[in-house]
Structure 1
C-alpha cells in the first residue's frame, strides 16, 4: 500500500506521516499520468495535468525539508500498471483524484502548521480541478 490508500489505515496520523503519505500519493499521480502518456501518446488531459503533479511533489519536498523529514524515494511504479485504453486511463485518474481529495480532507481536519495547511488546501483544490477535467474528458468518449 502506498499514498492515500495507506493513509486510510493509519489511525495515528502525525505531521511526518501526513507529509509522507501526501508525497507518495503525488508520486502515484505523476507516474499514473506518465504511464497514460506512454501508452496513449500525447493525450489530453494527461499532458497538461502531469505538469501540476511535478509542482505538487516539489511543494511537498520543500515542506519535508523544512520539517527535517527525509524525502521518501519514489516507489510508485510498484503500484501501477500501464493503461490499455483511454477509458481505463481516465478511470484510473478519476479514482486516484477522488482518493487524493479524501486524503487531504482528512489531513485538514487535524491541527497543522499554517504552511502545511496551505499546501494541503492547494493540493486538494488542484485535485478537484483535475477530477473535473478527467470526468469531462470521459464524458466525451
Structure 2
C-alpha cells in the first residue's frame, strides 16, 4: 500500500469521532455488545452482560484517569458505576449466579485524546442504555431485576448529559 494512502487513513481515523477505541476491541459476546446481540436471554446471561458492561465502564474510567489524571466528570461517574456493579453483584448473589470474571481491562486500552475519551464514553453509555432497555422489555425477567436495570439506565442518561457538559467545558 502506498505510504501516503496509509498515512491518510491513519490521520482520518485519528481525527474521526468514531476512531478506534476500547469497545472496538471488545468481543461480540461481551457486555452491551453481547446483550444487544443475544436473542436467547436467561437471567444468568442478562446479569453477566450487565455486570460485564459495568466492569467495562470502570475499566474505561480507570484508563482515562491513568492517562489524563482525575478529570471531572469521569471521577464522579466512576463512583456511580461502582454502585451499579454492587447492585448487580447483589442480584447475582440473590439468584445464586456466579458473576463473570472482571477482565474488562483487557478490552479497554487508554484513549488517545481527552476528546476521544468523552466521545467513547458517551457512546458506551448509549449502548448501555439500549442494552438495559432490551432487558427491561423482557416481561419474563423478574421485576426486581427490571427495576434495578431501569434505575441503572436512568443513571446512564444522566451520565450522557454530564459527559456532554464536560466535553463542552474542555472543547467549547
Give TM-score scaled by structure 1 length: 0.96
State the partner residue of 1:32: 60
State the partner residue of 1:103: 131
Question: Using the alignment, how far apart are the partners of 1:9 and 1:128 within structure 2?
Answer: 21
State the partner residue of 1:129: 158
1:53 is displaced (CA, Å) by: 0.7
User: What is the alpha-carbon root mean square deviation over aligned residues?
Assistant: 0.9
1:61 alignment partner, one of 89, 114, 123: 89
Question: Using the alignment, how far apart are the partners of 2:76 and 2:105 within structure 1?
Answer: 20
Secondary structure of residue in 2 paired with 1:69: coil
Matched positions, count: 141
Question: Using the alignment, how far apart are the partners of 1:17 and 1:6 within structure 2?
Answer: 9
Runs of 4+ that moved beyond 6 A: none
Q: Does structure 1 residue 79 correspond to structure 2 residue 107?
A: yes
State the partner residue of 1:138: 167
1:139 is displaced (CA, Å) by: 2.4
1:40 is displaced (CA, Å) by: 0.6
Q: Does structure 1 residue 92 correspond to structure 2 residue 120?
A: yes
Indicate conservation of the 8 Å contact 2:36/2:130, yes or no: no
State the partner residue of 1:18: 46
